Structure 1
Amino acid sequence: MKFLMPLALITLLMMGVISCGENAEQLRNEEIAKMEQEFSTFADSLEKVIAVEYTEVCTKYWEASLNSNEENWNNYSQADMKFNEILANKSNFETLKKFKESNNITDTLMARRLEVMYLGMLSKQIDTAKLNQLSAMQAQIENKYSNYRAKVGNKDLTDNQVEDVLKTSKNQKELQATWLAHKDIGPVVKEDILNLVRLRNEIAHELGYKNYHEMSLKLSEQDPAQIENLFDELDALTRDTFVKLKGEIDTFLAAQNKIKVEQLMPWHYQNRYFQEAPKIYEVDMDKYYKDQDLVKLSVDYFQSLNLPIDDLVAKSDLFEKPNKNQHAYCINIDRHAKDIRVLCNVVPNSRWGETMLHEYGHALYEYHYDASLPWTLKEPAHIFTTEAIAMLFGRMASDPSWMQSMIGISAGEKDSIAETCHNILKLQQLVFSRWSQVMYRFEKELYANPEQDLNALWWSLVEKYQMMKKPEGRDMPDWATKIHIATSPCYYHNYHLGELLASQLYNTITTKVLKDVPNANPGLVGHPEVGEYLIKNVFQPGKRYLWNDMIEKATGEKLTPKYYAIQFVD
């Protein structure tokens, strides 16, 4: 016999089920709202403390960069240690972990803020004594690099002067002596770097990673396997074209130095690491810049894009001084106050013309974050996305259209150098691409096994990817002469990712913003819509999105090497 339930009872039961469901959903929503409010309050409070100490660290670093001495670097180290103590606070980290594991932070912006804060503190969850030791060691090495001058005869040469000799001298003994003198920094810092590497690896092991290289990539939201595959793809993509260009380079340099191709040595390639393209083409780019005010040139260019930099320049330090850091960088000292500064050592040549555009590309990215973003998200989507902007603008320094508009070369001059300028840029990209292979693969192996023969590893990679011969019998720590290995560990691959994205953004700007023919190589001068596009699609979002999501929103595609290949590979 069938059991028949009265319709009224069925209706009541259904209403009860719906009511229970609604109550459960309401309770869940209330729980989420409560947790999100708790997180917001906690994050606001923690960020205030972090922001104050971050500004102090950056200020001390800036001061030490301008006047490199033991006292200033010690002040920086002390500030960095205090900052590390805040990030290493286990109670705060456990609170973040609780929020993360609750799965109750569902607001997209809040969830992103939580993830970035969590990753930022994760690497500091070790004994603060080790963090302090790391800071002190890094500051000590920075001081050694900043104060080092290559000694040739009775002359002490700055890095700029070393580069100038390698670029212009035809005296074989002077070239060799200058290159070797620059390499003398290697033995000075070798053991310091190895001790740093061991300590970094020890920290990575404690946090559950194979080594520091793996940890660095993962904590910056990069998949090590994906990066490895990308560099393998780039190796295959650029190898044949580079082999062809390297033959042209060698033929030119051998003739210039009146030696046989097989006699070419590293000091013949016109810079310290063969990371920049030798001048094998007839266009002397430096002649266009030797009488230029590079600061005014940069100000005027960015103004034409409706990206003024006057306030940024006013806070910067742009010319050579004794005891000053010899390199170039941009630093955001106070994210909310937009206290952004650039350090350069400008001399009127094409390299520093490019560097000024590059560094103020970084500065503009930092300047235009959405003001409503929390402090944690006032960062680039990834470190390589700010490199991409810097490279996009830096490339303009060798673009004839740009040079006509900004420097005032004639239309005839522009046309006469256009093909050669493209060849120069292409050569630069291919030379740098191969150099970045060396840096990426060396650091990967360095952290995998720091006890191996690193001198041999370095030169095996140089010979494989750059096709540059090791001087016979040389067994010195030449790898240790590259400051990035010590002070910007596991960073260099991001430069090349930046080049890929620069080409991708360039394609989007020319085809979708300016609606021009791809690779017509416009200088972008006088196009405020370019500035508007970059502010809206790249700068303002900050770290709101994962880097590949930001790239897809800005260009319609995730990061791809195809536009780089279109521009620079045969």
Structure 2
Amino acid sequence: MVTAAQFLGTRQERIETLSKAAAEAYWKATTTGEEQYEQEYIKMQHELIELFSSKEDYAALKELLADPKCQRNGVVLRQLILLDHEYTPNQPDKTLLTAIVETETEIESEFTRFRAQIDGQAVSDNEILGILQTEIKSEPRRQAWEASKQIGNQVAERVIELARMRNRIAAEAGYKNYYAMSLAMQELDGRELFTILKRLEELTDEPFRRMKAKLDEQLTRKFGIAESDLMPWHYADPFFQEAPTLEELDLDPYFKGKDIEALACQFFQDIGLNAADILAHSDLYERENKNQHAYCIDIDHAGDIRVLANIRDNEWWMSTMLHEIGHGVYDKYIDRTMPYLLRTPAHTLTTEAIAMLMGRLTKNIDWLIRYTDISAEEAERLTPLIDEQLGMGMLIFIRWSLVMVHFEHEMYHNPDQDLNALWWSLVERFQLIRKPEGRSAPDWAAKIHIGTAPVYYQNYILGELMASQLHYSILDELGRPSYIGERSTGVFLIRRIFHPGASVTWNELLKNALGEGLNPDYFIQQFID
């Protein structure tokens, strides 16, 4: 029988080499849109599939996991468990696995190159958002909203086929469907997850209805229409996943003409987290054929961390940069002396929590006072409005996320059902948005996550819950009313959250760092009560 050290040594070295090459190819593909890099990314993914699909390796891995010596060695056991999460979904037919990677990459590439059309003119995502945030007339808004969904028609059939293929893989691995397998591989308990989701649905239902009724009343006055005429395009973004700006509150002027990149760098420096090297490696401004979204990527788990963005001088992009750099500093401060497999965040939800904690700060009055030109008098006036704006944003985001989680859950249960009807039934249930009369289009497929980041959205919800838990924990640790500009904030995060990496499960991390597991009460206290 091969020893754990032998098994981990050779596999880990190969994984590190292939993962770094895949990350580099993905970066180049999304920053240039060039097919050669897409093909290189596919090649690296194929080689990773080849590695993780080894039946001989899988059998050896299972023997090691059952070995009492391995079970007594926490560092070894954790690496073996993480490898099991990679090998298990890759045991089915390699031809099928290859087809999934190729289809995912095709869809990702299509989103990267896609530019919506309005009256025959190509428009960017930023331009569509600009229309939905500023245009007063309903018809241009409708055109922009419909344009934002055009990509859905182009990719929907391939996304459905992906769901079928993913379900076949899950069935071969012994799971009910891909959704169930994904939760298991993410170390999430399905019952616990949906218990939390049900509680959030119930606790946010009435506050959301009140908030949306107030918002709808404002929109009817703004657009000069009856409440019964409000349509999806009257809201602030294509999916109603973010809050529109309150009538009395517009934070964009405080960021107009500001160097968003420099502000973000300074903030992290002030709390003891140096992000200058991350920004130096990043690609932050709009360019033709470049991916229009934003993400952070750890290329090598050894310090090469990058952010892709398309910065404009407004509050949305300031928040987005704080969010993405939040991911980046988490990656940066993981203990580099640990084995490669453990040099990642404890879980997707834990890195999302840090990103969300940071992204919220553009609606934190202490942050605004320190990093913008806001006066003390203006700050006093804006404080209740900002609190209302942030609370509204959290309600809207949670209800939108419930749409995504329930849609994916049902889609993998039966990918051949009427997904267009399923989507709008959930939008109407959770977001109280009317489906346009007669509309039957794959609007769900315009959300890139469904095709290329499947079964991911629950981590955003859990991340928001953890972010609120962290918020109160840091304040309690510092014994101060704010952690803005406090270098102790960075010390707390490095020692309690970042440094352990994936050496422990996410739930163990929370218990060790905060004294208890994930507790939704903090989010409810901060935004709902």
Give the TM interval when normalised to the shorter protein: over 0.9
Aligned to 1:191: 157
- CA deviation map 1:265-311 (0-9, x unaligned): 00000110000001234110111111210000011000001101111
2:84 to 89, 93, 118: 118
Deviations 1:50-72, CA, capped at 9 Å, x for gaps: 10000010011000001113332
Q: Is structure 2 residue 513 aligned with structure 1 residue 549?
A: no
Does 1:237 pair with 2:196? no
Alignment of 1:256-271 (within 5 A): 256-271=222-237
2-side partners of 1:83 and 1:348: how far apart?
40
Q: How does 1:81-480 map to 2 (within 5 A)?
A: 81-105=46-70, 106-335=72-301, 337-480=302-445
- Cα distance in 1 for partners of 2:393, 2:145 equals 21
Distance in 2 of aligned mates of 1:111 and 1:496 = 29
Alpha-carbon distance in 1 for matches of 2:204, 2:371: 32
AA aligned to 2:385 is T
C-alpha separation in 2, matches of 1:404 and 1:66:
34
Q: CA deviation at 1:110?
A: 1.5
After TM superposition, give the deviation of residue 116 of structure 1 in Å.
1.2
Task: Work out which of the residue numbers 505, 514, 532 in structure 1 matches 2:478.
Answer: 514
Question: More displaced, 295-304 or 108-117?
Answer: 108-117
Once residues 65 and 512 of structure 2 are traced to their aligned partners in structure 1, the CA distance between those partners, rounded to angstroms, is 26
1:51 to 16, 21, 30: 16
- How far is 1:225 from its partner? 1.2
Shift of 1:142: 0.9
**More displaced 10-residue stretch of structure 1: 469-478 or 67-76:** 67-76
Contact preservation (8 Å) 1:281, 1:420: no
Is 1:498 aligned to residue 457 of structure 2? no
**Are the aligned partners of 2:353 and 2:467 in contact in 1 as well (CA < 8 Å)?**
yes
The residue number in structure 2 matching 1:17 is none
- CA–CA separation in structure 1 for the residues paired with 2:229 and 2:68: 64
| Offset, 1:154 | 3.1
For the residues of structure 2 that align with 1:157 and 1:228, how far apart are their CA atoms? 38
SS in 1 for 2:90: coil
The Cα offsets for residues 292-351 of structure 1, whole Å up to 9 and x where unpaired, read as 10000011000001101111111000001100011000111101x211111001001100
TM superposition shift of 1:390: 0.2
Deviation of 1:214 after TM superposition, in Å, equals 0.5
2:28 counterpart (42, 49, 63): 63
Residue 146 (structure 1) shift: 1.2
How many residues are aligned here?
528
Percent of residue pairs identical? 39
CA distance in 2, matches of 1:311, 1:191: 41
Corresponding letter in the other structure for 2:478 = L
Counterpart residue type for residue 242 of structure 2 = E
Secondary structure of 1:255's aligned partner = helix
Distance 1:489 1:119 in 2: 16
Gaps of 5+ in 1: 1-34
In 1, distance between residues paired with 2:320 and 2:152? Answer: 26
What is the CA deviation profile of residues 169-194 of structure 1, one whole-angstrom value per residue up to 9, with x for unaligned ones?
01211001111111111111111101
CA distance in 2, matches of 1:40, 1:441: 42
Distance apart, 1:77 and its partner CA: 1.0
Distance 2:265 2:67 in 1: 49
Letter in 1 for 2:152: G
Q: Which residue of 1 aligns with 2:489?
A: 530
Counterpart of 1:330 in 2: which secondary structure?
strand
| 2:295/2:309 contact within 8 Å kept | yes
Contact conserved, 2:496 with 2:513, CA < 8 A, in 1? yes
Q: Secondary structure at the match of 2:3?
A: helix
What secondary structure is seen at the aligned counterpart in 1 of 2:7? helix
Unaligned residue ranges in structure 2 (runs of 5+): none
Query: How far apart, CA to CA, are the structure 2 residues paired with 1:121 and 1:343?
Result: 30
Q: After superposition, give the CA deviation of every residue in 1:366-406 in whole Å (9 maximum; x if it has no partner).
A: 01111221111111111010000000011111111101111
Q: In the alignment, what sits opposite 2:498?
A: 539
Bigger CA drift: 103-112 or 206-215? 103-112
3-state SS of 2:117 partner: strand
Q: CA deviation at 1:408?
A: 3.2
Instruction: Name the structure 2 match of 1:559.
Output: 518
Does the residue aligned with 2:179 lie in a helix, a strand or coil? Answer: helix
Counterparts of 1:434 and 1:387 in 2: how far apart (Å)? Answer: 18
Question: SS at the partner of 1:123?
Answer: helix
**CA drift at 1:79:** 1.5
Query: For 2:83 and 2:440, how far apart are their aligned partners in 1?
Result: 44
- Whether the 8 Å contact between 1:57 and 1:83 is mirrored in structure 2 is no
- 1:253·1:280 contact (CA, 8 Å) conserved in 2? no
SS of 2:258's equivalent in the other structure is coil
Q: Which amino acid aligns with 1:132?
A: T
Native 8 Å contact 1:58 1:331 kept in 2: yes
SS of residue in 1 equivalent to 2:299: strand
Tell me how far apart the structure 2 counterparts of residues 76 and 555 of structure 1 sit (CA, whole Å). 39
State how far apart, in whole Å, the 1-side matches of 2:306 and 2:57 are. Answer: 31
How far has the Cα of 1:358 moved from its partner?
0.3
Q: Which AA in structure 2 matches 1:348?
A: D
Structure 1 moving runs of 4+ over 6 Å: none
User: The residue matched to 1:77 in structure 2 has which SS?
Assistant: helix
Contact 2:256 2:314 in 1 (8 A): yes
Amino acid at match of 1:515: G
Out of 448, 470, 485, the position equivalent to 1:483 is 448
Corresponding residue number in structure 2 for 1:21: none
1:158 Cα offset (Å):
0.7
Asked whether the equivalents of residues 74 and 136 of structure 1 are also in contact (C-alpha less than 8 Å), the reply is no
- Report the equivalent of 2:40: 75
Query: Aligned equivalents of 2:458 and 2:254: distance in 1?
Result: 31
**SS at 1:104's partner residue?**
helix
Q: Is the 8 A contact 2:254 2:373 kept in 1?
A: no
Following superposition, the deviation at residue 155 of structure 1 comes to 1.8
1:24 maps to none
Q: Which moved more, 1:370-379 or 1:351-360?
A: 370-379
2: CA distance between counterparts of 1:170 and 1:70?
40
Residues 229-280 of structure 1: CA deviation (Å, up to 9, x unaligned) = 1100110111111010010110001110000111100000011000000123
